[in-house]
């Protein structure tokens, strides 16, 4: 590999240069990034194709490209069932979250929390989000550099620095437009790299039929568990149901995604781009799962741990890829570009969304008189500081050591879950008040860290590989004994008491923490006096109960639904928004006006009897 190292460097360099070029183009074209509207919101002028490709890129990093094949290789194809969660996980954002957030004409998702609850809730939500993204960013920038270093000897910290600095630079000069357009380019490179590995891998293993027969001879590879036990790491339920909450926390309320929905020209474009995420995300999942299967077919029976020393399964994926692509001109470089594209597109989204929330939620409210030029300069400084902070976080990740996919999914569940709960409390439960929201968030985070840290300390996060080492499986005589031993171990070491609580599958973290926030939030709200109808800002609630109970007569419905916006309240202006009307409805073009009129009765449904 050392011989081809210069080519790797060239292709890696070309990727960084192209990304910088896109950044430079957007720094010098359009409004030249002189307003926060352009720098943070892309002038709200994006079409749905770039937005949708950018939406996929945000949470598809090198972690998924390396982590998913490693997961398939060690635990079988069960993880693929997370694809089922994409259906509801994208339909609900498209039809509940996007309409509400888009019509309020927000800049930051957390502005919603102030409109619905109060300023303290908004600040707490923002701080939680910053915490989540800063840790996640570290994992993202560290993973590709680490994996590459483990196998090719690419300088670890040099790579981390190059990725972090280039990304900081183009994010700082080009704003959200540059972030979205680099995402488009980087997503295509990512797909191309994965596809190349699969095609070459299948060829080298001896064709599609050879791969299929190799893989299908190992029965336990295609595990399909319907076990309802919530401590089992991956089952159909944890992935298909728990996964919906994970998807909601990422695609429904995460600022990185909400910012993209808000940057779309019209609400229709935003909804359509969310729909278009579905096939592309399925493709991304399928590519990485198939890569894991090809790797299994190719490597089974061989022991590669000695070759890699103590390096993890994650590094093994890179080793496999380099084995496959070795000697083919340009292809190892293409895969390296694929890894770093995936990482760059994620951390650039993180920098820009972090700069946005810090500016819009933490700084602007305190300096309402700040000039636009000042605010833009400050936003750029913020994007840059987060870039540098990211490098520090990479070092922290270096000190941890777990499967990177698990680390990322745990962060999403532990910190993203409570944020999702906060938004659900506001959107679906009109009775919830500000005190309840704060108490709910506090309780949700406390429980999340209690379980999360508990699982790390007791090491009971259920990481046992149910699939015996593949070398053992292939010796068909031993297969049954091996599986029996594995199953036996599982039943023997079934945890009890608090330990059982700690061993909750991390795929349930989002759902569990979200529910805690809602439950505690509602209890405290009812104890302190539920929100009154006239106090709820119009357009901030979705009358779920009213819609579910549509068969009931209007007056009963009214009672059950609780609060709906009163007509007199509709004339009120939401704070900080000169450009929006009282309902927060966009009046940009005729078409969207028609749509919003059609939507109106849905929000006010419970009120028709009044
Ligand atoms: C966000 C999901 C779960 C969506 O499939 C997937 O992209 C994933 O597992 N991501 C891991 C985190 C990452 O790639 O950075
Ligand atoms: Na990405």
Angle at which helices 119-152 and 417-428 cross, to 10°: 150
- Residue 65 Cα to ligand 2 midpoint, Å, equals 10
ipTM of the complex: 0.97
Comparing 570 with 549, which gets the higher pLDDT? Answer: 549
285 lines ligand 1 (CB under 6 A): yes
Atom of ligand 1 at shortest distance to CA of 405?
Answer: 11
Sequential DSSP letters for 305-374: TTTTTT--HHHHHHHHHHHHHTTSTTHHHHHHHHHHHHHHHHHHHHHHHHHHHIIIIIIGGG-TT--HHH
61 lines ligand 1 (CB under 6 A): yes
Smallest Cα–Cα separation from 270: which of 42, 117, 452?
A: 42
- The model's pLDDT over 334-357, given as tens digits with 9 standing for 90+, comes to 898 999 999 999 999 998 899 989
- Mutating to test ligand 1, I would choose from 234, 248, 408, 420 the residue with most ligand atoms within 8 A of its C-beta, which is 408
Superfamily of domain 2-28+38-401: Sodium/glucose cotransporter (1.20.1730.10)
Q: Whose CA is nearest to atom 15 of ligand 1?
A: 61
Q: For residues 413 and 245, give the distance between their C-alpha atoms in angstroms, rounded to a whole number.
A: 9
- The model's pLDDT over 255-313, given as tens digits with 9 standing for 90+, comes to 999 999 999 999 999 999 999 999 999 999 999 999 999 998 888 745 555 555 445 67
Q: What is the pTM (predicted TM-score) of this model? A: 0.85
Q: For residues 357 and 421, give the distance between their C-alpha atoms in angstroms, rounded to a whole number.
A: 19
pLDDT of residue 53: 94
- Residue 610 Cα to ligand 1 midpoint, Å, equals 46
Q: What is the pLDDT averaged over residues 391-415? A: 82
How would you label 46-65 residue by residue, b for 16+ Cβ within 10 Å and e otherwise?
Answer: bebebbbbbbbbbbbbbbbb
Q: What is the pLDDT averaged over residues 526-542? A: 89
Comparing 124 with 379, which gets the higher pLDDT? Answer: 124
Cβ atoms of 11 and 170 within 8 Å: the answer is: no
* pLDDT at residue 147 tops 60: yes
Under the banding of pLDDT at 50, 70 and 90, the label for residue 13 is confident
- The model's pLDDT over 219-242, given as tens digits with 9 standing for 90+, comes to 777 878 888 888 888 999 999 999
Under the banding of pLDDT at 50, 70 and 90, the label for residue 494 is low
**Ligand closest in space to the Cα of 286:** 1
250 lines ligand 1 (CB under 6 A): yes
**Ligand closest in space to the Cα of 57:** 2
Smallest Cα–Cα separation from 376: which of 28, 34, 30?
A: 34
Atom of ligand 1 at shortest distance to CA of 250?
Answer: 1
Q: For residues 173 and 182, give the distance between their C-alpha atoms in angstroms, rounded to a whole number.
A: 13
* pLDDT at residue 397 tops 60: yes
pLDDT of residue 151: 77
Q: Supply 24's token pair.
A: 């430079």
64 lines ligand 1 (CB under 6 A): yes
Q: Which of 215-219, 321-325, 488-492 has the lowest mean pLDDT?
A: 488-492
Cβ atoms of 207 and 297 within 8 Å: the answer is: no
Q: Which of 4-13, 231-240, 352-361, 429-438 has the lowest mean pLDDT?
A: 4-13
Q: Is 531 helix (H, G, I), strand (E, B) or coil?
A: coil
Cβ atoms of 359 and 374 within 8 Å: the answer is: no
pLDDT of residue 464: 44
- Mutating to test ligand 1, I would choose from 57, 58, 63, 143 the residue with most ligand atoms within 8 A of its C-beta, which is 63
* φ, ψ at 264 (rounded to 5°): -70, 150
Return the H-helix or E-strand segment holding 267: helix 267-299
Atom of ligand 1 at shortest distance to CA of 243?
Answer: 3
Under the banding of pLDDT at 50, 70 and 90, the label for residue 599 is very low
Comparing 585 with 287, which gets the higher pLDDT? Answer: 287
pLDDT of residue 326: 85
* Percent of residues, the chain, with pLDDT higher than 70: 81
Domain chopping of the chain, boundaries: 2-28+38-401, 408-460+495-531, 533-607
Q: What is the pLDDT averaged over residues 489-516? A: 80
* φ, ψ at 550 (rounded to 5°): -65, -15
Q: Whose CA is nearest to atom 8 of ligand 1?
A: 64
pLDDT of residue 275: 95
pLDDT of residue 566: 35
- The model's pLDDT over 560-582, given as tens digits with 9 standing for 90+, comes to 655 443 333 333 344 444 343 33
Return the H-helix or E-strand segment holding 68: helix 62-75
- The model's pLDDT over 42-100, given as tens digits with 9 standing for 90+, comes to 888 888 899 999 999 999 999 999 999 988 988 889 999 999 999 999 999 999 999 99
* pLDDT at residue 213 tops 70: yes
Under the banding of pLDDT at 50, 70 and 90, the label for residue 4 is low
Question: Rounded to whole angstroms, what are the CA distances from 12 to 62, 284, 529?
Answer: 15, 22, 59
Sign of CA dihedral 175, 177, 183, 186: negative
Dihedral, CA atoms, 537, 539, 540, 544, nearest 10 degrees? 130
- Residue 60 Cα to ligand 2 midpoint, Å, equals 4
* pLDDT at residue 556 tops 60: yes
pLDDT of residue 89: 96
Q: Supply 372's token pair.
A: 């636009």
140 lines ligand 1 (CB under 6 A): yes
């Amino acid at each position: 590999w050392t011989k081809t190292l210069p080519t790797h460097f060239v292709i890696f360099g070309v990727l960084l240069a192209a990304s910088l070029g896109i950044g430079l183009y957007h720094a010098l074209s359009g409004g030249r990034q002189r307003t926060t509207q352009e720098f943070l919101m892309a002038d709200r002028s994006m079409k749905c194709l770039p937005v949708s490709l950018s939406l996929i890129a945000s949470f598809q990093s090198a972690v998924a490209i390396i982590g998913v094949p490693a997961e398939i290789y060690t635990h079988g194809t069960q993880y693929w069932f997370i694809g089922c969660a994409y259906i509801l996980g994208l339909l609900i954002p498209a039809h509940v979250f996007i309409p509400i957030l888009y019509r309020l004409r927000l800049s930051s998702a957390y502005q919603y929390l102030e409109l619905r609850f109060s300023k303290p809730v908004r600040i707490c939500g923002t701080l939680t989000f910053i915490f989540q993204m800063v840790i996640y960013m570290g994992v993202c920038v560290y993973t590709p550099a680490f994996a590459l270093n483990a196998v090719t000897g690419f300088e670890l910290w040099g790579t981390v620095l190059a990725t972090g600095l280039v990304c900081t630079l183009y994010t700082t000069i080009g704003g959200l437009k540059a972030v979205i357009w680099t995402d488009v380019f980087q997503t295509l490179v990512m797909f191309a790299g994965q596809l190349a590995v699969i095609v070459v891998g299948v060829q080298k293993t001896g064709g599609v039929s050879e791969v299929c027969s190799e893989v299908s001879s190992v029965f336990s590879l295609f595990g399909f568990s319907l076990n309802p036990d919530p401590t089992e790491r991956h089952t159909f339920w944890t992935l298909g149901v728990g996964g919906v909450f994970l998807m909601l926390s990422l695609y429904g309320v995460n600022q990185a995604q909400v910012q993209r929905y808000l940057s779309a020209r019209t609400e229709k474009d935003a909804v359509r781009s969310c729909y278009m995420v579905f096939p592309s995300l399925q493709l991304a999942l399928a590519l990485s799962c198939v890569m894991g299967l090809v790797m299994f077919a190719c490597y089974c029976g061989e022991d590669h741990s000695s070759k890699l020393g103590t390096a993890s399964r994650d590094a093994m994926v890179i080793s496999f890829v380099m084995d496959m692509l070795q000697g083919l001109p340009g292809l190892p470089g293409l895969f390296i570009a694929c890894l770093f594209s995936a990482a760059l597109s994620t951390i650039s989204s993180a920098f820009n969304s972090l700069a946005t929330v810090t500016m819009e939620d933490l700084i602007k409210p305190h300096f309402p008189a700040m000039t636009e030029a000042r605010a833009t300069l400050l936003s750029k400084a913020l994007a840059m500081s987060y870039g540098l902070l990211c490098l520090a976080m990479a070092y922290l990740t270096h000190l941890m050591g777990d499967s990177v996919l698990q680390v990322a999914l745990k962060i999403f569940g532990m910190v993203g879950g409570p944020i999702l709960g906060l938004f659900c409390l506001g959107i679906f439960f009109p009775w919830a008040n500000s005190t309840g929201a704060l108490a709910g968030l506090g309780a949700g985070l406390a429980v999340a860290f209690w379980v999360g840290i508990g699982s790390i300390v007791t090491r009971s996060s259920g990481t046992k590989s149910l699939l015996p080492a593949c070398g053992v499986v292939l010796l068909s005589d031993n297969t049954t004994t091996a599986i029996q031993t594995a199953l036996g171990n599982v039943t023997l070491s079934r945890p009890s008491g608090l330990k059982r609580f700690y061993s909750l599958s991390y795929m349930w973290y989002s759902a569990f923490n979200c529910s805690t926030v809602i439950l505690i939030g509602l209890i405290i709200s009812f104890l302190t006096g539920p929100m009154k109808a006239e106090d709820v800002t119009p357009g901030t609630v979705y009358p779920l109960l009213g819609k579910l109970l549509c068969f009931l007569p209007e007056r009963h419905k009214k009672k059950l639904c609780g609060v709906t916006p009163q007509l007199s309240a509709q004339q009120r202006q939401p704070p900080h928004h000169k450009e929006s009307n009282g309902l927060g409805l966009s009046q940009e073009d005729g078409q969207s006006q028609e749509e919003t009129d059609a939507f109106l009765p849905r929000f006010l449904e419970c009120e028709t009897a009044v």
